[in-house]
Each structure stands twice: as structure tokens, then as C-alpha cells.
Structure 1
Amino acid sequence: MFYNSQNFKQTRSRRIITAALCISLASQVNFQLFSHGFIISLAPLIMSVFLYFNTDLHPIKLMLSISIASPFFRGLLLAISNENNQNAILTFILADIAFYFVYSILYYFLYWQSESTTNSFFLLTIIICDYFSNIVETGILEGFTNYSYRLFQILFLIALIRSLLGSITSFLYHYFNLMLSKDSHERRYYHFVWIAASVKNELYPG
């Protein structure tokens, strides 16, 4: 029992580390928008897929790992490129950490502790998480000034598109897995029926 418990914890730790590395690397695929330092990346899209299929992992622990790995990679690349001063790099790193922190807190209270785990509620949750995390990230980069209605619209559109893509990917993959599992069960059932019929014919010929 103790061995199984330890093995399960190690498996969880490996998944958290794997997610942190994959999402951190995905965050490097991005383009800049609005202000210097604000980037649109694939990380939240991949993050939503990982959260959907790993409901046993504590979201705050997962996000803490990502908020360490992602800013590390970004800060390292920015430092090597010599395109920004130290204060700017520090601001970018803090904004990155804030994004994942806000995302994890919202996801934890809205979805992880909720009794409702429907697909529609999951989609709504990650839209909210992505949207408000973007607002906080932009605020840190801009000193919480220069907010506009147009900016909120664009941030919501970004959150909506990323969340839809992540959710559709998750739902379709889950659906196809269910179909394959159902087909496999049916094949085993018919195989069992065929074997049972063959045994019956051998025991009771004619």
C-alpha cells in the first residue's frame, strides 16, 4: 500500500514537471501585442488541455511549477538577446508569474472545488481564467494605466479563441477515446459470446 501511494505521488510529480516544461516551451511561441512585453502565446491553450485530462492534479501546485519554469525560460532568452534592460526583464517575468498565479486561483475556486464538472462549465471557467489573467498581466506591464474598452474587447477575444481551441481539442479527443473504448468493449463482448457458443457446441453437439 505504501509503495503504491509513493509510486502514485511520483507519477503526479512527473506529470506536473512534464506539464511545466511543455507549457513553458510553448509560451516561447508567441507574438507581441499592445504593449512592449505583452505576448500572445500557445501556453494557455495547451494548459487548458492538460487541466482537462488531469483533474487529479492540484491546479495551484501545477501553476506554481509553470510560474517558475516559464518565466525562467523567458527571462533567460531575454537576457541572452540583450534587447531589454534588467528592469524591463524583471517586469516581464513578474507579469508572466502573475498570469499563472491569477489563472490558478480562479480555476481552483471556480472549477476545481465546484461540484459541476460539465464541459460547458469547464469552457466558461477557462475563458474567465484566461481573460482576467490577461487583464492583470497587461496591468503590470502598463503600470495599471492605459486601460480602454477596446483593450478589454481584444483581451476577451483572445481568451475566447484560445479557450475554444483548447476545449474543442480536449472534448474531441475525449469523445474519440470513448468511442474507441466502446468499440473495444463490444469486440471483446462478441468474442466472448463466440467462445461461449463454441464451448457449448462442443459440450452439447447436435
Structure 2
Amino acid sequence: MLIVMILASQIYIDIFFSNFRFSFGAIILPVIIYKYRDMRVYYIGFISGIALYIQRIIVYSFGKSSFLENVFLFWPEVIFYTIYGLCFVYVVNKNKNMKIHNLFLSLILIDFLSNITEIFILTSISENINYIEVIKLLIIVAIVRSSISAVFITGLKYYNMLLMREEHEKRYRDLVWMSSKLKTQVYWMEKNMIYIENVMEDAYNLFENIKERKNREFWQNNSLDIAKNVHEIKKEYALVLEGIEDVVKVNVSKIGMSFKEIILILEDSLYRMIKNRNKVIDLNFSEYENFYTHKHYELISIFRNILTNSIESMDKGRIELMHSKNENSHIFIIKDNGNGIKQEYIKNIFKAGFSTKINYETGNISRGLGLNLVKKLVEQDFNGKISVFSIENLGTNFTISIPINYLEGE
């Protein structure tokens, strides 16, 4: 993309004086920044300016002007591209869902400010000029270049939407196929439920006979029949599990998902949960940068278990999922301002079967498998780390660290 911008910068118009140019490279720069906006490349403008600066020095040194003259002649272009790059990267990252008309106005303003800064630097070493005429022309040029850039960016947005639509259609077809396969396994599970009920009835009848010392001559055969039936049920369920694993493996390996899509799925399902339970809870999810992963099922399972626990721990409040990234890992912090966890419970919350969630109306208690599953997924499947910090009546923080190569790798 940098090469494309350098080539585009060869199309320019000299105005006012010989060392000030309106380059078409400024049309390509915002398109590049917008395309790679998730990477937050604040330095792209500076790199672009340096590349164009070196290119112009080399090219024009073969002409009439000397190398030293060109060194001093073209350096203000670095200022223009640096200012443009910094401003536009800030704008697109501050307002990721900016409407096209707001984007267009931002492009005009950034183009004008970058050009006027370059003009002020140049006029300190050049002849006097009419600033009123300069400003008028700069506004016109900013509108023209921004219009072309906005058209390119709009085309890029619709192209990305088309690709996403095709990917969603493919995912839908795969999910329909998966659903049909799973229905087959559900049939066998329902069939086994009948067998299980029969075995339970036989076992209970045997228990009653033993308890009352009746029909002793049938005890041995009844026990053997029960063992045989349990063995058959086990074989049937082994086939069911094999079928389910086959369906899941095939589809997971083919379909990936972006982190943004994962966030959207979580927000949709969790807000429905909050609404259905008549709670007043604000969710705030923020991503440092978007990434693509084939392990989205595992990642959603991790987030959903922790976030669901947070929702269940409060009637009103705020829950945040914050994403950051360092050189080696993705960092996810999930925090809430709910009731917190008692200190004596902290060491046990990841143990299977441990739970503090009891329905006092029904007497039902949670199975306590959610956080145990989370810990297993983070540490065994992702080779990551998970920690928890909580203060009773103030809230809870979960910090999850997952190596980049485990999360983004195939």
C-alpha cells in the first residue's frame, strides 16, 4: 500500500512556489489508514512522509537541482504527512462507526490543517504570498481530495460488507448442516432415555425384591440384565458423543470469527438475559484491536461464564470487558461493581462443584462447573493464565492472559 501511495504522489500540481505541491498521495493515505484502522498505526503518516521525502530526493537529484538542495527543499512534506496521519488515525479510532458525512468533514479539516501548517513552514524560508488566496485554494483542494478519498473509503466499506455477508451466508449454511447432524444425535439420545428409564425401573424392582427377600432365584439374572442394558446404553452414548465431536470438529476447523463479532454475540445474548431477569445492568465492552480466531467457541464460553456470574451477582450496576495486548499475549479484564466474593471463597471458586448460588425458593443449587470450565479452557486449551481479585460489596475483577499464537493461530 505504501508503494501505491508513492506512485500516487508522483501526480501533483505545483502552486504558489516551486517547492509546494498538491500531491495525490494525500488521497491514498486516509484510505490506507481506514483499511488498517484496527492496528492504530499512528506512525503511518510519518513513515509515508519519510518514504516520499527519500523518493523525491533521489529522483530530483538526477535533474537540475543538487542533492543538498533537494534535502532542504522537500522536508516540509514529512510534516504534512505526519500531521495528517496522526490526526486521521486519532479520528477513526475515536469514532469507529463514524457516518460518511462526518468522515468527509473530518477529511477536509485534516487536509486543510496539514496543508496550512506546511505553508507556514515554507513561507518562513520563501517569498511572500497572498494568504487569503492560499486559504481559498487550500479549502478547494481539501474538498476535492477529501471527496475522492471519501468515495474510495465508501467503496471499501461496501466491499467489506459484501465479503462479510458472503462469510455469514457460508456460516449459516454450515450451521444448518450442523443442526441437521445434531438432530440425528438427539434422536439416539431420546431413544437411550427410554432405555435408561427401563433400567431404572428394573434396578428399583431388584432393590425392592432384595429388601423384602423376594424372588431370590431371579436376583442373579436381573442383575446381569441391568449390567447388559447399562453396557448397551454406554455404547449408544459413545456413538452419540463421537457423532457430536465429529460435527463440531468439522465446523470449528472451517469457520473462524473476528473478536468484534464475538463481542456483538455476547452483547446481544447478555442484554436479553438482563432484560428477561428485570435487571438494570450496563455492559461496556472495549477492544484494543480486532483479531481473527478459530477458537471462538472456547473464547465465548470463557467470557459468557464469567459475565453470567457477574449478572447473577447483582440487580443493578456495571460490567466491563476490557481488551488489551502486549508483545506476547492478549489480556482480557472482566470487572463488575457487584456484591463481590468473600475472601474465604476465593481459593475455591475454580474447583468443580463449588458454588455459592442457591435458589432459596426452590432449594436448587448451582452445579458449580462454570468457573472450573473457564480455568480448564484458559490454562489447558489456551496455555494462558487466569486470576481473580474481589472485595466484598465492591466488586470483582477477573484477569485472563492468553498467548497470541494460541488465540490467533490455526
Same fold by TM-score greater than 0.5: yes
Name the residue aligned to 2:48. 66
* Contact persistence 2:9–2:24 (CA under 8 A): yes
Alignment of 1:98-137 (within 5 A): 98-109=79-90, 111-112=91-92, 114-115=94-95, 117-119=97-99, 120-137=101-118
- Counterparts of 2:92 and 2:163, CA distance in 1: 28
* Contact persistence 2:37–2:93 (CA under 8 A): no
Q: Whose strand proportion is higher, 1 or 2?
A: 2
What are structure 1's unaligned runs of at least 5 residues?
A: 1-17
Name the residue aligned to 2:378. none
1:199: how far off?
A: 9.6
- Counterparts of 1:54 and 1:165, CA distance in 2: 19
Partner of residue 158 from structure 1, selected from 134, 141, 158: 141
Paired residue secondary structure (1:60): coil
* Contact persistence 1:91–1:140 (CA under 8 A): no
Against the structure 1 CA distance between its residues 112 and 118, is the aligned structure 2 distance closer, same or farther, given a 3 Å change threshold?
A: closer
Name the residue aligned to 2:129. 146
Paired residue secondary structure (1:81): coil
Paired residue secondary structure (1:40): strand
**Letter in structure 1 aligned against 2:20:** F
With the length of structure 1 as denominator, give the TM-score of the two structures.
Answer: 0.72
1:129: how far off?
A: 1.6
* Contact persistence 1:92–1:141 (CA under 8 A): no
- Counterparts of 1:91 and 1:46, CA distance in 2: 25
Larger Rg computed on CA atoms:
2
> Which deviates more from structure 2 when the two are superposed, residues 52-61 or residues 66-75?
52-61
- Counterparts of 1:112 and 1:194, CA distance in 2: 39
Against the structure 1 CA distance between its residues 64 and 148, is the aligned structure 2 distance closer, same or farther, given a 3 Å change threshold?
A: closer
Name the residue aligned to 1:33. 15
Q: Whose helix proportion is higher, 1 or 2?
A: 1
* Contact persistence 2:31–2:152 (CA under 8 A): yes
Against the structure 1 CA distance between its residues 148 and 62, is the aligned structure 2 distance closer, same or farther, given a 3 Å change threshold?
A: same
What are structure 2's unaligned runs of at least 5 residues?
A: 188-410
Deviations 1:78-135 (A, max 9, x none): 11112x35564233322111111221343355x1562464033332222222111111
Alignment of 1:1-206 (within 5 A): 18-19=1-2, 21-82=3-64, 84-85=65-66, 88-109=69-90, 111-112=91-92, 114-115=94-95, 117-119=97-99, 120-143=101-124, 145-186=128-169, 188-190=171-173, 193=176
1:152: how far off?
A: 0.8
Tell me how large the CA RMSD over aligned residues is. 3.0
Against the structure 1 CA distance between its residues 88 and 133, is the aligned structure 2 distance closer, same or farther, given a 3 Å change threshold?
A: farther
1:56: how far off?
A: 2.7
- Counterparts of 2:42 and 2:83, CA distance in 1: 10
Against the structure 1 CA distance between its residues 199 and 102, is the aligned structure 2 distance closer, same or farther, given a 3 Å change threshold?
A: closer
Name the residue aligned to 2:245. none
1:147: how far off?
A: 3.7
